[in-house]
Amino acid sequence: MQLWTEGKVHYNGYRIEITSSSNTIWGVVTGEQGGYRVILIKEGTGILQIGDSLYPIVAPAVYCINDKENIQFIAGDSLKTKSLQFRLSALNVRLEGLIQNLHEGNIRETTDYQDLWYMESFLERTESYNGSLLLDPSVTNHMEYLFDEIGYNLTVQPDSYWPCRSRSYLLELLFMIRHLYQKSEYTAIPISKTVSGSIRPIIEYLHTNYKQKIKIEELTALFHVNKTTLNQWFNKSTGLSVISYLNQIRMRMAEAMLRNTTLPTIDIMDRIGIRDDGHFIRQFRKYSGYSPAEYRTNYCWLLNK
């Protein structure tokens, strides 16, 4: 991928190692030496493959992708995305040479190494963190503003300060992401690797369309399988019936939003495809042991405790 924008209006021929795009290309996005990517997913559902693991896409969210990762969007519905690509040299020309020292534990107390603080959300990977951070709507709006301002300055280059503003907005964006990484309690849960090939298309369908009203009869007709066989496949691969698996998807999404956003409960219900508040409260209490309000009071990091 091209990792630089060239001056066309002001500073003709000057290159800044930041690029912007309004749509994420479906298929494989490969890492490039020294290249980092930030993807804002404002709306939509789908499945993202990182390495050999599959993750449901939760929106709104931001994804921090480093130069060694290959990711693939393998299923999606109505996704609205924005993307930025940059090299570390756009932040500090000495940073790229410091990454290896960081991996080897040779960290020194200099401002160069301190600048790597911005990149922790891109470099760190654990069982509970795959590079994705769930966003509160207010954060999403400001983050989208930063994406738009960077894109405008890179594309239009309105005056001689366009490289400075592009870099400054990128630093502000990375600071926001780093703060969210430090505070957020969202855990990305991968889709089970044990699912058989026969139900994988159905799993993908459920993770992409859980916001819709889904009936067993629709699934059997769509995937040309009878109800008994369908439930046998699911029980064997997941230990759950089809409806229980669908409900688990919805409850995990609700849990993530209650922990990491201040979205009203009615909006959370709409985003996970449940219309009846009594049903939602019963199902969430069965899933977590708490009502939605109790869970948010106990676990939402955005609330003052």
SS3 255: helix
What's the confidence (pLDDT) of residue 2? 73
Residue range 170-187: mean pLDDT, rounded: 91
Cβ proximity of 258 and 295 under 8 Å: yes
**Amino acid 33: pLDDT:** 61
Higher pLDDT, 298 or 107: 298
On the question of pLDDT at 97 being above 80, the answer is no
Q: What pLDDT does residue 1 have?
A: 60
Query: What residue ranges of the chain are covered by domains with CATH 2.60.120.280?
Result: 5-183
Predicted pLDDT at 302? 86
pLDDT at 151: 95
Confidence of residue 191 (pLDDT cuts 50, 70, 90): confident
- 10 vs 115 pLDDT, higher one: 10
The CA–CA distances, whole Å, from 259 to 47, 187, 207, 295, 305 equal: 21, 10, 20, 8, 13
Higher pLDDT pick, 190 / 93: 190
Position 144 pLDDT exceeds 70: yes
- What percent of the chain is predicted at pLDDT more than 70? 88
Mean pLDDT of 60-84: 85
Give the pLDDT mean for 99-108. 57
Q: Which helix (H) or strand (E) is 242 found in, with range? A: helix 242-260
* pLDDT at residue 74, rounded to an integer: 78
pLDDT at 254: 94
Whether residue 48 contacts residue 71, with contact meaning beta carbons closer than 8 Å, is answered with: yes
List, by residue range, all CATH 1.10.10.60 domains of the chain. 200-299
pLDDT in tens, 130-143: 899 999 988 999 99
Q: What percent of the chain has pLDDT over 90?
A: 51
pLDDT higher than threshold 70 for residue 177: yes
The mean pLDDT value for 147-170 works out to 95
pLDDT above 70: residue 32 = no
Name the residue with tokens 């955005």: 302
CATH topology of domain 5-183: Jelly Rolls (2.60.120)
Q: pLDDT value at position 67?
A: 84
Residue 187 phi, psi (nearest 5): -115, 120
* pLDDT level of residue 92 (50, 70, 90 thresholds): confident
Radius of gyration of the chain (CA): 21
pLDDT at 105: 54
Provide CATH code, domain 200-299: 1.10.10.60
Distance, in Å, from the CA atom of 232 to the CA atom of 222, rounded to the nearest integer, reads: 17
- Residue-averaged pLDDT of the chain: 86
Per-position DSSP letters for 48-71, written without gaps between them: EEETTEEEEE-SSEEEEE-TT--E
Q: How large is the average pLDDT for residues 252-277?
A: 93
**Interacting residues of 163 by C-beta distance below 8 A, sequence separation 6+:** 7, 11, 14, 16, 153
Q: Does residue 28 carry a pLDDT above 80?
A: no
Query: Residue 62 pLDDT > 60, yes or no?
Result: yes
The H-or-E segment that residue 39 falls in is strand 35-50
Enter the DSSP assignment of 158: -
Q: ω before 60 within 30° of 0 (cis)?
A: yes
- Provide the total of helices (H) and of strands (E) in the chain, helices listed first: 12, 9
**Longest Cα separation, the chain:** 67
